[in-house]
Structure 1
Amino acid sequence: MFGGPGVPVVAAVPDATSHSGFGTLNKVDYPTLGLGHPLPSEVKIQVGGLPVAVWGLEEVEGDGKRGVVVLVVARAKEDLSTPYLAQGILGQVALKGSKAKARNLIIVTLARNGSGPEKPVFGKSAQQLQVPSNATMDRSALKLTLNQYQYRRRQIALDEIEQLIAALPAALPGLIIEEWAATGISLGGFIAWKLIHDNPRVHIGIPIDGLPFESISKRLSSPGSPSITPDLQNVLLPFTDPAQGRKAYSGKKILGLFGKESTFAPFTHAEGDIRQIETWTENQDQGKEGEKGGILAWDVQENVGHTCTVQMVKQAAEWVWRYGMVDPTADEGAAAAEGVGSTGSTGEKKKRGSFLKKVFSR
């Protein structure tokens, strides 16, 4: 099932070349995510004290060296998927040619997300929030402790990514970063949602198997859940305010990708919130010149668990190309030749619908 403006509801079937979509529903078949494309250039640098890998930098071309940076957020300290995601997305985009291309694509990965220095959370250290193997706690207290610990991991990862966004332009002086995008799997998908919400510079997002914070906040504050500490309540508050939601998501371009069989990030748990976010993205407050508001589309893939498939990588590349690399005011003939329709015209919804069908037909 997929959704968004102008798109019929049909099932999306994972590529047969991916083992992730069948049998072992939650297995990530890492090498296939590279889609068989040549390995892109990789440059390892330190940005604000963080070890960063920059993919595709040596392939940058053009006089102004205008670029879109895609942040691939790792879901763990050692995430084997990030190099293959970079390879697959860069390779797919390279097939597009250059007629409608307005920006270069750079992919940045930060492999140690969430593994930085220990930071107090809710007045407790991370060690205090961890549950010893011989712990004897009632179920409610245990759930609360685990919720707090998981939040700590996410918050440290977010802090590192925000630090990277602030420092990267100075670390890449030859590149004019005009657009920021975020993607990631699982925890990385959650962080991608949060970056889209929190950071006004991140206009494009492709969260994979991650729920928006609106859904997580409702689950934590629902009847029967453990009590919420005042500090955690303050964190959740912005995600319960419709006015803040409209402002945060206005003009953003979001593609949510989900496995229908995922029990870790079930789409059914978040569908209502995602449909609400869809209306907020269409608000024109942050819409750029030549465009009319934002867009949120989603794809729930049959027979897929908590994983990333070949099809998802292709969809992510199509989304980055369409909303990050193509000038919305580009010549219509050139854009059509590249498989992209321009925005900001009277036929915008029809063109968007056609584009989304192209994305979800892969």
Structure 2
Amino acid sequence: MDRDELFALAVVGAVKDVSFLIDVLPSYVFPHDERTVGEWVLAGFSLGGHATWLALRHEPRIRIGIPICGCANIVTLLELYADKVGIPRTAPYFPESLRALVRAYDPATAPPGAFVGKRILALSGADDTLVPWSASSAFMEVLDVGPRGKKKAMVLPGKHRCTDEMRDEMFQFFWEEALVARQETRICAL
């Protein structure tokens, strides 16, 4: 198994892990059912940013997501990696079976309405060569979150790092979208 295959499987696995945590965490945190979780928020950096995008697509209980240096178009990102390191975009390096698996989960191949009602802040480094914003920008432009959703993209100075400015933007978005907007709802963030 090569690096691209491991990457794709790790992203798919991370989304399944997030769903599992949402299933079991409330009974662990509130063993006497003294509270319920009213809002699930997910933020992640790099591989966690990719997983945040996928969880926003596949996990309906996550309404707010903040992918940091993550990609909304995994197929494009894998193709960029292949070109960068000089390997073909074909089998055995990128077999059709892997491409099909990635497409099945990829936010960029989501059916219409998959992100309606979601509140998304996508943060990226302007000089990020590992996960360039160009791999996500076209998707973000056409992303439909509907009238009750929100999408915001910020390409900030920096490379493939979660900078202080990105953290500040993430905290501000979390504050506005999860806390202020839903003051009376219990929040549990992953």
The alignment partner of 1:316 has SS state of: helix
Match of 1:203 in 2: 63
- C-alpha distance 240-258 of structure 1, shift in aligned 2 (>3 A): closer
Aligned equivalents of 2:175 and 2:77: distance in 1?
34
Match of 1:169 in 2: 26
Equivalent pairs counted in the alignment come to: 172
The Cα shift of 1:219 comes to 4.6
Any unmatched runs of 5+ in structure 1?
1-128, 130-144, 283-291, 331-362
**Structure-to-structure mapping, 1:22-171, within 5 angstroms:** 129=1, 145-171=2-28
2:66 touches 2:121 (CA, 8 Å); kept in 1? yes
- C-alpha distance 156-295 of structure 1, shift in aligned 2 (>3 A): same
Aligned equivalents of 1:163 and 1:240: distance in 2?
20
Amino-acid identity (%): 24
Aligned equivalents of 2:29 and 2:139: distance in 1?
37
Aligned equivalents of 1:269 and 1:314: distance in 2?
24
Aligned equivalents of 2:155 and 2:175: distance in 1?
21
Q: Do structure 1's residue 281 and structure 2's residue 145 form an aligned pair?
A: yes
Structure 2 residue aligned with 1:218, among 65, 76, 84?
76
Match of 1:294 in 2: 149
The Cα shift of 1:147 comes to 1.2
TM (norm. structure 2) is: 0.79
Q: Deviations over 1:49-98 (max 9, x none)?
A: xxxxxxxxxxxxxxxxxxxxxxxxxxxxxxxxxxxxxxxxxxxxxxxxxx
- C-alpha distance 221-184 of structure 1, shift in aligned 2 (>3 A): closer
Match of 2:133 in 1: 267
Match of 2:187 in 1: none
Q: In structure 2, give the amino acid aligned to 1:194.
A: L
Q: Deviations over 1:269-327 (max 9, x none)?
A: 221111122xx112xxxxxxxxx32111111112x000011111111111111111124
Match of 1:119 in 2: none
Q: In structure 1, give the amino acid aligned to 2:154.
A: D
The Cα shift of 1:175 comes to 2.9
2:53 touches 2:107 (CA, 8 Å); kept in 1? no
Aligned equivalents of 2:20 and 2:164: distance in 1?
30
* Structure whose alpha-carbon radius of gyration is higher: 1
The Cα shift of 1:259 comes to 0.7
Q: Which has the higher helix share?
A: 2
- C-alpha distance 171-253 of structure 1, shift in aligned 2 (>3 A): same
2:119 touches 2:145 (CA, 8 Å); kept in 1? yes
1:190 touches 1:210 (CA, 8 Å); kept in 2? yes
Structure 2 residue aligned with 1:308, among 162, 170, 173?
162
Match of 2:188 in 1: none
Match of 2:123 in 1: 257
Structure 1 ranges of 4+ moved more than 6 A: none
Aligned equivalents of 1:172 and 1:329: distance in 2?
20
RMSD: 2.5
